[in-house]
A and B are shown apart, each in its own frame.
Chain A
Amino acid sequence: MKKYTNTGNKDTRSGFGAGLAELGKANENVVALCADLTGSLKMDDFKNNHPERFFQIGIAEANMIGIASGMTIGGKIPFTGTFANFSTGRVYDQIRQSVAYAGKNVKICASHAGLTLGEDGATHQILEDLGLMKMLPGMTVINTCDYNQTKAATIAIAEYEGPIYLRFGRPKVANFTPEDQKFEIGKAVLLNEGNDVTIIATGHLVWEALIAAEKLEEKGISAEVINIHSIKPLDEAAILASVKKTGCVVTAEEHNIIGGLGESVARTLSLNNPAPQEFIGTNDTFGESGTPEQLMEKYGLNAEAIFAASEKVIKRK
């Protein structure tokens, strides 16, 4: 079993900021828009080095999405930055009409997604954004797992023509993917090969899945771990190949199990190769205030929960 090393906890939002800073130097068509959360989104480097290409919109997310759409007319590549809640639910119709339906090359970059936003509570902890965004025709949906991957994804999506939702978060989490990785939209990353169960995780749950796999190995269970950073398009071939081998699957995401990655995996399996599946995610509930660790424990989004779900799903084979 492959071992992964945490090179030091870092926040994924800082990966976004670092990626955006590189894009600022490399691509003069990249513009950045922010709705009064420049510091939280780690956009200060871009703002300071490219002030003519940084647009402070104020607390007006609907206007920000519309302006971003308009900036594509003239060849700009806009990156919008605000919290995931205000990047999706608050502006759903603006994204639907002015970005997705209009087919505009806007990169909607969303921080503070999910429960790990922590103490601010449920008003800010969106757990429905992946579902909202994956339902939009033509929208690409990405949820990265660590600093390095978020930085690589930020740089990669500038090269892709079309609307993208890029989701990341606030807490400092393990940074374990390669610094020099090539980020391929729609391509699953096989982290560990195994035969007894497939664990498909996204975002902050990927590291937890690796911890769970280690614990499963101690009990003689061989777990295959797949990092799905692209919820849409989904790497169906990778999922089907793995589940054909293992015969069962656990999906893990910091999101409502209704509408998230798990349902996309279930649809893929039901159409091609039905198999037992357990869902790690929030169960049709809002979050609440607390530390990220407390919340992930209370709502069952950690290595222990993935471990237990794996044992359970193997019994259902």
Chain B
Amino acid sequence: MPNTQQLEDFVSQVRRDILRQVHKVNSGHPGGSLGCAEFFTALYQEVMEHNSDFNMDGIGEDLFFLSNGHISPVFYSVLARSGYFPVEELNTFRLIDSRLQGHPTTHEGLPGVRTASGSLGQGMSVAIGAAQAKKLNNDSHLVYTLHGDGELQEGQNWEAIMYASAKKVDNLISTVDLNGQQIDGSTDDVLPMGSIKAKFEAFGWTVLEVKEGNNITKVIEGLNKAKSLTGKGKPVCILMTTMMGNGVDFMMHSHKWHGVAPNDEQLENALGQNPETLGDY
């Protein structure tokens, strides 16, 4: 198991990868990606039992589904640096003939990706199916998901949330990235959702809160706590508060960097705040 410093170094490199990917093609979504660097690092470097020698069925290992597919830069960086595909391939993000599509997909056969996501609100249903298949296969491993908070405005989520508790899908840990931002502004301005915690609880889920979603130690603690609560008849939800654009001072505290790439000068500034630790690709 890596120690905390090693994990923080990993996060710093992931942030660099995110920034460099979106800068190169002047497109992509850095804000939410940066906010979830700790979460992905925790999952793939510490919490999940997974096999980078990728097999779609994933029997005998934990699975992860990214529902808010637009934060693909963080997903790609962590998959590459966890051994799923060469880190040099991050150079092809969003380019023609690439496996690293703007939004993640199985279509080009990128190892580590088990569904297509991008059109929001579909990931939890797919994850529930995978979790129920695990039960049929007597596979005791877990299924993890990540969702944006704005994404919960899509109704299909609530079909899935209702179903997961009704059918006791208790091998599922769904994390909601509470960064409070979406494209048009803050979630409270666009469509206030009230208490997401109360909603999940009312739907019969066990709910945990990770208030410091950009503290790798706290994220790991939260995920491990969630793991300990699986297998008890209820799906588990982690409400994880993060900062969009975390790690880059001028990208924080705003929705403006949801889907905008930094220019040359901004990139240099941002990279200066996040040291190269594992080697740039």
Identify the A interface with B (CB < 8 A): 31, 52-53, 55, 57-58, 60, 62-76, 78, 93-94, 96-98, 101-104
> Is B159 positioned at the interface, with any CB of A under 8 Å from its CB?
yes
Contact A102:B107 (CB < 8 A) given known A66-B129, A74-B130: yes
Bound CA–CA A98/B128 (angstroms): 13
Q: Determine which of B58, B130, B137, B159 lies in contact with A62 in the assembled complex, contact meaning CB atoms within 8 Å.
A: B159
Partner of A58, one of B57, B125, B163: B163
Interface residues of B in 89-137 (CB under 8 A from A): 105-107, 114-119, 122-134, 136-137
21 CB-based A-B contacts, threshold 8 Å: A58-B166, A60-B159, A62-B125, A63-B125, A63-B159, A64-B125, A66-B123, A67-B126, A69-B125, A70-B65, A70-B128, A71-B129, A73-B114, A74-B58, A74-B130, A75-B57, A76-B136, A94-B156, A97-B117, A98-B116, A102-B115
Q: Of all chain B residues, which has the CB nearest A94?
A: B122
- Kindly state whether residue B56 has any CB partner on chain A within 8 Å: yes
Of the candidates B59, B117, B122, the one having the most CB atoms from chain A within 10 angstroms of its own CB is: B122
Whole-angstrom distance between the alpha carbons of A98 and B66 in the complex? 12
Return chain A residues, CB-CB under 8 Å to B119.
93, 96-97
**CB distance B125 to A70 under 8 Å?**
yes
| B123: nearest chain-A partner, CB-CB | A66
User: Are the CB atoms of A70 and B59 closer together than 8 Å?
Assistant: no
Interfacial chain A residues near B163, Cβ < 8 Å: 57-58, 60, 63, 67
Query: Chain A: which residue is nearest B155 at the CB level?
Result: A62
Contact B122 A71 (CB under 8 A): no
B122 and A66 contacting across the interface, CB-CB below 8 Å: yes
A72 contact set on B, CB distance < 8 A: 129, 133
Give chain A residues whose Cβ lies under 8 Å from the Cβ of B155: 62
| Contact of B156 with A71 in the complex, beta carbons under 8 Å | no
From 141 to 180 in chain B, residues with beta carbon under 8 angstroms from any chain A beta carbon are 155-156, 159-160, 162-163, 166-167
Q: Is the CB of B116 within 8 A of A71?
A: no
**In chain B, what residue has the closest Cβ to A78?**
B129
Q: Smallest Cβ distance from A165 to chain B, in angstroms? A: 18
With A and B bound together, what is the CA distance between A67 and B115 in angstroms?
12
Q: Given A63-B160, A65-B125, A98-B116, does the pair A70, B130 have CB atoms closer than 8 Å?
A: yes
Kindly name the residue among B57, B133, B137, B167 whose own CB sees the greatest number of chain A CB atoms within 10 A.
Answer: B133
Tell whether B251 is near chain A: CB-to-CB under 8 Å: no
> Nearest chain-A residue to B131 (Cβ)?
A70
B248 neighbours in A (Cβ, 8 Å): none
Sample of 11 more A-B contacts, CB < 8 Å, known A62-B159, A97-B117: A58-B166, A60-B159, A62-B156, A63-B128, A63-B163, A66-B122, A67-B128, A67-B132, A73-B63, A73-B126, A75-B57
Contacts of A63 in B (CB 8 A): 125, 128, 156, 159-160, 163
Chain B interface (Cβ < 8 Å from any Cβ of A): 56-59, 63, 65, 105-107, 114-119, 122-134, 136-137, 139, 155-156, 159-160, 162-163, 166-167
Whether A74 contacts B126 by the Cβ 8 Å rule is no
Q: Are A53 and B136 in contact (CB under 8 A)?
A: yes
In the bound complex, CA of A55 to CA of B164 (Å): 12
9 shortest A-B CB distances, which residue pairs? A70-B129, A66-B125, A74-B133, A63-B159, A60-B159, A67-B129, A70-B126, A70-B130, A71-B129
Contact residues in B for A57 (Cβ distance below 8 Å): 163
B174 to chain A, nearest CB (A): 13
Residues on B with C-beta less than 8 A from A52 are 136
On whether the beta carbons of A73 and B125 are closer than 8 Å, the reply is no
Residue in A65, A73, A103 whose beta carbon sits within 8 Å of that of B130 in the complex = A73
Question: For residue B136, which residues in chain A have a CB less than 8 angstroms away from its CB?
Answer: 31, 52-53, 74, 76
Partner of A73 from the list B56, B116, B123 (CB cut-off 8 Å) is: B56
In the complex, A74→B116 CA distance in Å?
Answer: 17
Q: How far is it, in angstroms, between the C-alpha of A256 and the C-alpha of B159 when the chains are bound?
A: 31
A172 smallest CB distance to B (angstroms): 34
Q: Complex formed: what's the CA distance from A63 to B59 in Å?
A: 23
Taking CB as reference atom, which chain A residue is nearest B154?
A62
**Cα distance, A97 to B106, chains bound together (Å):** 10
Q: Compute how far the CA of A73 lies from the CA of B143 in the bound complex, rounded to whole angstroms.
A: 11
Residues A70 and B156 in contact, CB atoms below 8 Å apart: no
Across the two chains, which residue of chain A brings its CB closest to B132? A71
B159 touches A97 (CB 8 A): no
Instruction: State the CA gap A93–B121 with chains docked (Å).
Output: 11
Asked if residues B125 and A101 are in contact (CB atoms below 8 Å), the reply is no
Q: Within 8 Å CB of B162, what residues of A? A: 58, 60
CB distance from B58 to the nearest CB of A (A): 6
Chain B residues contacting A101 (CB-CB under 8 Å) are 105, 107, 116
Complex-state Cα separation, A55 to B163, whole angstroms: 11
- Residue pair B106, A70 in contact (C-beta under 8 Å): no
Point out which of A62, A70, A72, A93 has the most chain B C-beta atoms below 10 A from its C-beta. Answer: A70
Q: Which residue of B lies closest to A67 (CB)?
A: B129
Question: Whose C-beta in chain A lies nearest to the C-beta of B63?
Answer: A73
Residue of A nearest to B124 (CB): A66
Q: Nearest A residue to B167 by beta-carbon distance?
A: A55
Question: What is the CA–CA distance of A97 and B117 in the complex, to the nearest angstrom?
Answer: 7
